[in-house]
Chain A
Amino acid sequence: MDALIAAAGPLKAGKGAPHHGRRKPLTSHKTVDRGSEKESIDPSTLSILGSTRLPHAFHDTPHASGSGTSSSTLRPDPSVSKIKDKKLRAKVARTDVATQRANRERNDVNEWLNAPLGGAAGGIEVDHEAGERTWRIGQGEIESAVGLSSRGKKFDLKFDGLGEYVVDYTRNGRHLAIASKLGHVATFDWQAGKLHSEIQLRETVRDIKFLQSESFYAVAQKKYVYIYDQDGVELHKLKQHIEPLHLEFLPYHYLLVSSGHAGYLKYHDVSTGTLLTQIPSRLGSPPSMTQNAHSGIIHLGHTNGTMTLWSPNMTTPHVKLLAHRGPVSCMAVDPSERSAGRYTVTGGMDGMVKLWDGRMWGKEVKSWHLRNRPQTLSFSGRGMLAIGGKGGVTVYNDLHSGSSADSVPAPYLNLPTPSLTAHSAKFCPFDDILAVGHSRGISSLLVPGSGEPNFDSGELDVFESRTRRREREVRGVLDKIRPELITLDTEFLGKVGDQDRGTYEERQGKSYRQLGRMERLALAGEGGEDSDAVAVANGETVEGVSDGDGNANESTRPIKKDKERHKARGKGTGMKKYLKKKRKNVIDPALIAMRAKVAAQRQADEQKRKIASGEVKKETGALARFG
């Protein structure tokens, strides 16, 4: 048959019928002469070659760095070969290679776009051999050395008698918000010198934070958190946040986080206006709070020297570690390229500064002692660390240099504020500026080489226009990440579970086919919790998992309650039990009301059941409605 197909020609068209002088219909069955050196072929064997070509994306093209992305050099990850399903394996391998290629091309493009010419990356360069040190250079020297436009960025705003100032930049570094202890709040575009709002609140203000853009900011005041707009008009009073101490805003999740005097951590969704969750830290009033901008995890520093890491999804901290022998007064997470949220620095009242690695919390990477206790910490876009305390701010450039854990890193710059304590210091994103808030106002200081020079205007635009800001805000709300996706491991999402479950028969000696549908789903990890599988085994009704056709598959088997198991695993079981028991005795009006409600409901249900079964006759008279 095959030989026949290959060899035979077509039927001759229209026997005897007139052709009306038209062309002979095209057939594919003639050999094509391809020139002298090649043999002639039947076009049907290569029938698609003429009309197809390799997509452009798969062509080998030289790139900026000279590395051609030849697909032959890209191999899928070896673990892909373990996948048994042929089609899935091919798909995963293809995706893997495409990802590798995309990464490689991204690096090439980025190198082409953003590599500094001449290799230098900005900052101060001195001759070490000649005994010059960068930390000897004062602001005056820098000011006189840099151009006029940079000189204009150094300024002081003097406000006497208003208390210590807190500062905050918008994420693009364009706008600055300041708030004094005694209630002086102002926001302004510091580059254009344009004041947006200035208000005197006449009560204690503890923190200020910009929300998604400069148009809104949240202020932690004496009793509650308030939200103001660009013109300083009070928009919201968030009464759920009582006596707030610190504020953080997670811009991709639209969550305003506050920690208050009572030790509660509260997540407020500002896009819907609902309080997402409130978590008791049970460690008292936290002296410090910060966020990891790369994972959305909130760090809390406590008075007993511990640091805890929180997400809205767990009522217990993800990590709890004893960082200092005294209150943790300040913390900062490094957002720069090398760290990307991995390294954290804490400063304690014990005068120590410690650098932690998020991959291994067991021991600090580095720690050193400061003469003046650290009051505030800030990381710049290039990974410089500013430590503010009594007498000024010290900036460190390379924290990771020096091998031993106890070696003190050499400072990069000293920025003294004579007779003043730096209460709050913040690096300006995408600029070489450090804003320091102290008891006599704020100072904007020059720190050459600290900022990330190349911003991405698709993400954060320093020169954002009004229309582009609006566009970004709408897109931002559309792309709002669900709070459930805040995890310690940022790579968790979309990863394939790698543990080998084995076949069911291997584990149970029971045929997979003999299982019910719910059991199978549970086995495949689709049925949700293991508890569901247990419930099925006990004949309990489980909420039907909708099948492909959308209707829930409800079973009507009798309900049989399984006795709750009291077998707890893990350490400290006794303590947990003890605490649980202890909690039982706490008289909480809300809990009492809830219990009463549940009891009433249960009684009503019981009554209904009795009526249905005929044990009790239902009152049908006119007075029945009165119970």
Chain B
Amino acid sequence: MPISFEPVHQASLAQTAFATANPNGGKKFEKTSPLGALFLSIPIATSMKISMISRSLDDHLPSSSSAPHPLQRNLAPHLHPFAKPREYTRALNAVKIDRMFAKPFVGALGGHQDGVYCLGKDPRRVSVVAAGGGDGEVIVHSLTLRRPLLKIPNAHRGMVGGVCWTSDARDGKRGIISCGKLDGTVKIWKSDAFAPGRRDDGSDDEEEILDLAGAVGENDYDEEDDLAMDEKARDARGKNLEPVMSYTTKTGFNSIDHHYTDSAFATGSNTVQVWDETRTAPLSTLQFGSSLESVTAVRFNKSETSVLASVGGDRSMCLYDIRTGKAERRLVMQFRSNCLSWCPTLPTVLLLGSEDHNNYTYDIRNLESPTQIYKGHVGGVMGCDWSPTGEEFVSGSYDRTIRLWSRDAGKSRDVYHTKRMQRVFDVTFTPTADYVLSASDDGNVRIWKSEASRKIGPVSTKERQSMEYRKALVDRWSSVSDIRAVKDRRHVPQSVHNATKLKREMIESRNVKEDRRRKHSRAGREKPKAERKKAVIVEQK
């Protein structure tokens, strides 16, 4: 029994709408809502009117075959049932997708004969990093080409203590400054191969000729002598490169940092010394009291550029001002710190990586206790660096992992490791905050993504929007246990896993012991001490 329909003529709607204008009442009962649902109202009796839903196809169908389908919204909650469970499901999918795409390792930069113990990132350029090796070799790597731009094989005798980039205050050219841990020399290297300096393009406008990229092989560089192609020529050039300046003392240097704009630099040996590039003897020697203890790291403040901080083997952290030439504060902590980094956006925030496996941030206005303890490593922290936004930082540890942290959370956001990566001795964020570099014992500098699941390469608007939506979903639902379980779960090497377990047990038993001791001592005599208060022993002024 087939069904037959009388065709419904939607097209005749316009006529009807005209016909409904009430001729005698002078009142037109016709309403449209902005959505296009039209109530047609017709007076049939004296006071009765009937209006029904009538939709015009003109409003609801695309105007042409290529036009987008017209959308209309009604945000009333009763038309969107199960809003919460659906969002939860999406959040769960989002967090799973995030973990599925988490492939943080980008590549390794080789070429070192020995372990890499220090990194020097160029604060003004993205794709160049200098690395100092255990055999005294300094290599300047290009991150985009993933190969060395220049190798300086015998920059120092013995280990390189530190390497960083100079400012161009002295002669308009920037170079590398490196120090030897054993030979007690500081050397400045300048070469077209890694930093050609400002180039005169003939115009008078100074803004045009900043030394943006300009290293060999990078865009916009005219390769005159084919260095980019010829490895032999490059090696020969590195071998024959003579330092522009050389400074010698009797003690080896553990760390070096250059002033951001001036031609001054600071070194850490058994004291902190401030140098001027033009003078062979230090300008001043900074020392708190009469302590002669090895200084392991020294860094200039990023904003208040004449403030200097150092950490030393006597479990101390010291603050200096190079204008007065005095040590201002000294902080003695429970454990020795290995590295430090000043926050680029918050001038008073100082990050220390400690031998007790933790990172600490201090506010230098109040050094009584750290503002936050960052726990997670199971080996001493050997290197740390802030991201350029100052919201996150990275730390590398002796336990062969590197961890990423956000400033306001005491647990790490992510942990990176590979089978081949050995003890990590230095880490750094690239100036774009996209990548993290790690230098390790195995003689490689590794490039990692700072967000493990971020897509490299161009991203369309739609894709970006959906990624942002997924991120917001995960943020919003991350307190729910299912989602948190997926989000926080990380695989770590067996050794780290066992060490974590062992450490947890040790700490717990220690705490239990302390509890028992407190229980059997006079009431109020032994008060529990907050974890943050335990870190600092004394603050000296």
B477 at the interface (CB under 8 A from A): yes
CB contact under 8 A between A458 and B328, given known A22-B206, A145-B44: no
Question: Are A454 and B45 in contact, with the CB atoms below 8 A?
Answer: no
Contact of A22 among B55, B172, B262, B477 (CB under 8 A): B172
Question: Are A188 and B13 in contact, with the CB atoms below 8 A?
Answer: no
B455-500: which residues lie under 8 A (CB-CB) from chain A? 476-477, 480-481, 485, 488-492, 496-497, 500
Question: Are A494 and B51 in contact, with the CB atoms below 8 A?
Answer: no
B521 at the interface (CB under 8 A from A): no
Question: Are B10 and A294 in contact, with the CB atoms below 8 A?
Answer: no
Question: Are A294 and B169 in contact, with the CB atoms below 8 A?
Answer: no
A413-458: which residues lie under 8 A (CB-CB) from chain B? 430-432, 446, 448-449, 451-458
Contact with A along B241-255 (1 / 0, CB 8 A): 000000000000000
Contact of A16 among B9, B278, B304, B511 (CB under 8 A): B278
CB distance from B407 to the nearest CB of A (A): 12
A23-44: which residues lie under 8 A (CB-CB) from chain B? 23, 25-28, 44
Closest 6 CB pairs of A and B: A193-B5, A152-B8, A147-B16, A127-B47, A25-B261, A453-B37
Task: Indicate the member of A5, A110, A120, A457 with the most B CB atoms within 10 Å.
Answer: A5
Interface residue stretch chosen among A267-275, A315-323, A459-467, A607-615: A459-467
Question: Are A95 and B33 in contact, with the CB atoms below 8 A?
Answer: no
A11 at the interface (CB under 8 A from B): yes
Contact of B13 among A148, A294, A458 (CB under 8 A): A148
A117 at the interface (CB under 8 A from B): yes
Residue count of chain B within 8 Å CB distance of chain A: 112
A18 at the interface (CB under 8 A from B): yes
Cα(A125)–Cα(B2), bound, Å: 39
Not counting A125-B47, A147-B13, a sample of 10 additional A-B residue pairs whose C-beta atoms are within 8 angstroms of each other reads A9-B323, A22-B198, A110-B74, A113-B74, A147-B42, A150-B54, A198-B2, A458-B73, A482-B85, A514-B512
The residues of A that contact B490 with a CB separation of less than 8 Å are 548-550
Contact of A448 among B2, B52, B322, B500 (CB under 8 A): B52
Cα(A2)–Cα(B348), bound, Å: 10
CB contact under 8 A between A432 and B73, given known A132-B47, A453-B37, A455-B79: no
Contact with B along A104-132 (1 / 0, CB 8 A): 00100110111111101011111100101
B534 at the interface (CB under 8 A from A): no
A10 at the interface (CB under 8 A from B): yes
Question: Are B52 and A454 in contact, with the CB atoms below 8 A?
Answer: no
Q: Find the A residue at minimum CB distance from B79.
A: A456
Cα(A44)–Cα(B17), bound, Å: 68
The residues of B that contact A157 with a CB separation of less than 8 Å are 3
B61 at the interface (CB under 8 A from A): yes
B192-226: which residues lie under 8 A (CB-CB) from chain A? 198, 206
The residues of A that contact B496 with a CB separation of less than 8 Å are 549
Question: Are B263 and A14 in contact, with the CB atoms below 8 A?
Answer: yes
A480 at the interface (CB under 8 A from B): yes
Contact of A546 among B2, B35, B489 (CB under 8 A): B489
Cα(A18)–Cα(B57), bound, Å: 78
Cα(A23)–Cα(B508), bound, Å: 60
The residues of A that contact B276 with a CB separation of less than 8 Å are 15
Interface residue stretch chosen among B87-95, B232-240, B426-434: B87-95
Question: Are A141 and B79 in contact, with the CB atoms below 8 A?
Answer: no
The residues of B that contact A18 with a CB separation of less than 8 Å are 171
Question: Are A148 and B305 in contact, with the CB atoms below 8 A?
Answer: no
Question: Are B73 and A113 in contact, with the CB atoms below 8 A?
Answer: yes
- 15 A–B contacts, CB within 8 A, in A order: A14-B169, A17-B263, A20-B172, A113-B72, A114-B33, A123-B50, A132-B48, A147-B40, A147-B42, A149-B10, A149-B40, A188-B3, A454-B33, A455-B72, A455-B74
A155 at the interface (CB under 8 A from B): yes
The residues of B that contact A449 with a CB separation of less than 8 Å are 51-52
Q: Find the A residue at minimum CB distance from B480.
A: A494
The residues of A that contact B31 with a CB separation of less than 8 Å are 116-118, 120
B100 at the interface (CB under 8 A from A): no
The residues of A that contact B105 with a CB separation of less than 8 Å are none
**A-B interface pairs (CB < 8 A), number:** 307
CB distance from A429 to the nearest CB of B (A): 10
A472-490: which residues lie under 8 A (CB-CB) from chain B? 478-482, 485, 490
Cα(A431)–Cα(B70), bound, Å: 19
Cα(A526)–Cα(B488), bound, Å: 14
Contact of A481 among B75, B85, B328, B480 (CB under 8 A): B85
Question: Are B40 and A146 in contact, with the CB atoms below 8 A?
Answer: yes
B530 at the interface (CB under 8 A from A): no
CB distance from B423 to the nearest CB of A (A): 19
The A interface, classified by DSSP as helix, strand, loop or mixed, is loop
Contact of A95 among B1, B41, B60, B476 (CB under 8 A): B476
Cα(A320)–Cα(B491), bound, Å: 48
Question: Are A117 and B32 in contact, with the CB atoms below 8 A?
Answer: yes
Question: Are B408 and A87 in contact, with the CB atoms below 8 A?
Answer: yes
A47 at the interface (CB under 8 A from B): yes
CB distance from A446 to the nearest CB of B (A): 7
Interface residue stretch chosen among A280-288, A333-341, A397-405, A619-627: A333-341
Question: Are B324 and A4 in contact, with the CB atoms below 8 A?
Answer: yes
Contact of B74 among A114, A126, A514 (CB under 8 A): A114
Task: Indicate the member of A95, A118, A453, A457 with the most B CB atoms within 10 Å.
Answer: A453
Cα(A431)–Cα(B84), bound, Å: 27
CB distance from A522 to the nearest CB of B (A): 13
CB contact under 8 A between A193 and B169, given known A117-B32, A463-B61: no
Task: Indicate the member of B37, B75, B324 with the most A CB atoms within 10 Å.
Answer: B75
A186 at the interface (CB under 8 A from B): yes
Cα(A14)–Cα(B7), bound, Å: 90
B81 at the interface (CB under 8 A from A): yes
The residues of A that contact B81 with a CB separation of less than 8 Å are 252, 293-294, 335, 340-341
Question: Are A1 and B169 in contact, with the CB atoms below 8 A?
Answer: no
CB distance from B496 to the nearest CB of A (A): 7
Question: Are B261 and A454 in contact, with the CB atoms below 8 A?
Answer: no
Question: Are B50 and A142 in contact, with the CB atoms below 8 A?
Answer: yes
